[in-house]
Protein backbone atom coordinates (compact mmCIF):
# COMPACT_ATOMS: atom_id res chain seq x y z
CA UNK A 1 0.00 0.00 0.00
CA UNK A 2 1.57 3.28 -1.07
CA UNK A 3 0.87 6.69 0.33
CA UNK A 4 -0.04 9.68 -1.79
CA UNK A 5 1.84 12.96 -1.11
CA UNK A 6 -0.17 15.77 0.48
CA UNK A 7 0.23 18.00 -2.56
CA UNK A 8 -1.45 15.42 -4.79
CA UNK A 9 -4.28 14.90 -2.32
CA UNK A 10 -4.69 18.67 -2.05
CA UNK A 11 -4.88 18.95 -5.84
CA UNK A 12 -7.54 16.25 -5.95
CA UNK A 13 -9.54 18.00 -3.23
CA UNK A 14 -9.32 21.30 -5.14
CA UNK A 15 -10.55 19.63 -8.32
CA UNK A 16 -13.08 17.10 -7.07
CA UNK A 17 -13.58 17.66 -3.35
CA UNK A 18 -16.78 18.58 -1.60
CA UNK A 19 -17.31 22.10 -0.31
CA UNK A 20 -16.57 20.86 3.20
CA UNK A 21 -13.25 19.32 2.08
CA UNK A 22 -12.32 22.51 0.21
CA UNK A 23 -13.05 24.66 3.29
CA UNK A 24 -10.97 22.31 5.45
CA UNK A 25 -8.11 22.48 2.93
CA UNK A 26 -8.27 26.28 2.90
CA UNK A 27 -8.29 26.43 6.69
CA UNK A 28 -5.34 24.04 6.93
CA UNK A 29 -3.34 26.13 4.46
CA UNK A 30 -4.16 29.34 6.34
CA UNK A 31 -3.04 27.82 9.65
CA UNK A 32 0.11 26.26 8.24
CA UNK A 33 3.27 27.79 9.65
CA UNK A 34 6.53 27.23 7.87
CA UNK A 35 9.22 25.61 10.00
CA UNK A 36 11.72 28.30 9.03
CA UNK A 37 9.29 31.03 10.12
CA UNK A 38 8.74 29.29 13.44
CA UNK A 39 12.47 28.76 13.96
CA UNK A 40 13.16 32.44 13.25
CA UNK A 41 10.45 33.53 15.70
CA UNK A 42 11.83 31.29 18.46
CA UNK A 43 15.40 32.48 17.81
CA UNK A 44 14.26 36.11 17.90
CA UNK A 45 12.38 35.59 21.18
CA UNK A 46 15.40 33.85 22.73
CA UNK A 47 17.66 36.66 21.53
CA UNK A 48 15.36 39.27 23.10
CA UNK A 49 15.34 37.44 26.44
CA UNK A 50 19.13 37.07 26.42
CA UNK A 51 19.54 40.77 25.58
CA UNK A 52 17.10 41.77 28.31
CA UNK A 53 18.34 39.54 31.16
CA UNK A 54 21.86 38.62 30.15
CA UNK A 55 23.41 35.18 29.90
CA UNK A 56 24.68 35.15 33.49
CA UNK A 57 21.25 35.92 34.92
CA UNK A 58 19.66 33.19 32.80
CA UNK A 59 22.25 30.63 33.90
CA UNK A 60 21.68 31.62 37.54
CA UNK A 61 17.89 31.32 37.10
CA UNK A 62 18.27 27.81 35.68
CA UNK A 63 20.65 26.78 38.47
CA UNK A 64 18.29 28.16 41.13
CA UNK A 65 15.29 26.39 39.58
CA UNK A 66 17.21 23.10 39.43
CA UNK A 67 18.22 23.47 43.08
CA UNK A 68 14.63 24.15 44.12
CA UNK A 69 13.43 21.14 42.13
CA UNK A 70 16.00 18.93 43.86
CA UNK A 71 14.74 20.08 47.27
CA UNK A 72 11.30 18.73 46.40
CA UNK A 73 12.70 15.19 46.28
CA UNK A 74 15.54 15.22 48.80
CA UNK A 75 14.49 15.09 52.47
CA UNK A 76 16.23 17.30 55.04
CA UNK A 77 19.58 15.95 56.17
CA UNK A 78 20.63 15.73 59.84
CA UNK A 79 24.28 16.83 59.66
CA UNK A 80 24.82 16.23 63.39
CA UNK A 81 23.85 12.54 63.16
CA UNK A 82 26.17 10.06 64.88
CA UNK A 83 25.00 6.99 62.93
CA UNK A 84 24.34 6.62 59.21
CA UNK A 85 20.73 5.60 59.81
CA UNK A 86 20.12 8.87 61.68
CA UNK A 87 21.14 11.09 58.76
CA UNK A 88 17.62 10.95 57.33
CA UNK A 89 14.74 10.59 59.76
CA UNK A 90 12.09 8.07 58.76
CA UNK A 91 9.29 10.66 58.90
CA UNK A 92 11.25 13.04 56.67
CA UNK A 93 11.68 10.37 53.98
CA UNK A 94 7.95 9.85 53.54
CA UNK A 95 6.24 12.46 51.44
CA UNK A 96 3.39 14.25 53.20
CA UNK A 97 0.77 13.05 50.72
CA UNK A 98 1.89 9.42 51.22
CA UNK A 99 1.68 9.36 55.03
CA UNK A 100 -1.97 8.19 55.10
CA UNK A 101 -0.91 5.21 53.01
CA UNK A 102 1.34 3.68 55.64
CA UNK A 103 1.00 0.06 56.69
CA UNK A 104 -2.26 0.42 58.63
CA UNK A 105 -4.01 2.21 55.79
CA UNK A 106 -2.66 0.30 52.81
CA UNK A 107 -5.00 -2.66 53.22
CA UNK A 108 -8.00 -0.44 53.86
CA UNK A 109 -7.16 1.64 50.77
CA UNK A 110 -6.77 -1.50 48.66
CA UNK A 111 -10.17 -2.76 49.79
CA UNK A 112 -11.72 0.62 49.02
CA UNK A 113 -10.06 0.64 45.59
CA UNK A 114 -7.91 3.70 46.32
CA UNK A 115 -4.27 3.89 45.39
CA UNK A 116 -1.53 5.44 47.46
CA UNK A 117 0.14 8.05 45.30
**Whether residues 28 and 50 fall in one domain:** no
Residue 113 in any domain: the answer is no
The residue ranges of DSSP E strands in 1-117, in sequence order, are none
**Whether residues 40 and 13 fall in one domain:** no
**Whether residues 25 and 46 fall in one domain:** no
**Whether residues 40 and 55 fall in one domain:** yes
**Whether residues 50 and 67 fall in one domain:** yes
Whole domain around residue 23: which residue ranges?
6-32
* Whole-prediction pTM: 0.34
Give the pLDDT band of residue 105 (cuts 50, 70, 90).
low
Q: What is the pLDDT of residues 37-84, one digit of tens each?
A: 888 899 999 899 888 888 888 888 887 887 777 666 677 777 888 888
Q: What is the pLDDT of residues 5-42, one digit of tens each?
A: 788 999 999 999 999 999 999 988 888 777 778 888 99
- The CA distances from residue 72 to 2, 88, 93, 94, in Å, are 51, 15, 11, 12
**Whether residues 27 and 39 fall in one domain:** no
Number of domains in the chain: 2
**Whether residues 21 and 52 fall in one domain:** no
**Whether residues 43 and 70 fall in one domain:** yes
**Whether residues 70 and 42 fall in one domain:** yes
| Residue 109 CB partners (closer than 8 Å, separation 6+) | 101, 115, 116
Gap between the Cα atoms of 39 and 49, Å rounded = 15
Residue 107 in any domain: the answer is no
Residue 112 in any domain: the answer is no
Residue 101 in any domain: the answer is no
Amino acid sequence: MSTVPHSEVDSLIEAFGTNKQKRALGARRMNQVGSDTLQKAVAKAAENIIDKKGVTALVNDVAQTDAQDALLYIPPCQTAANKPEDVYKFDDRILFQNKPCLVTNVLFSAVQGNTCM
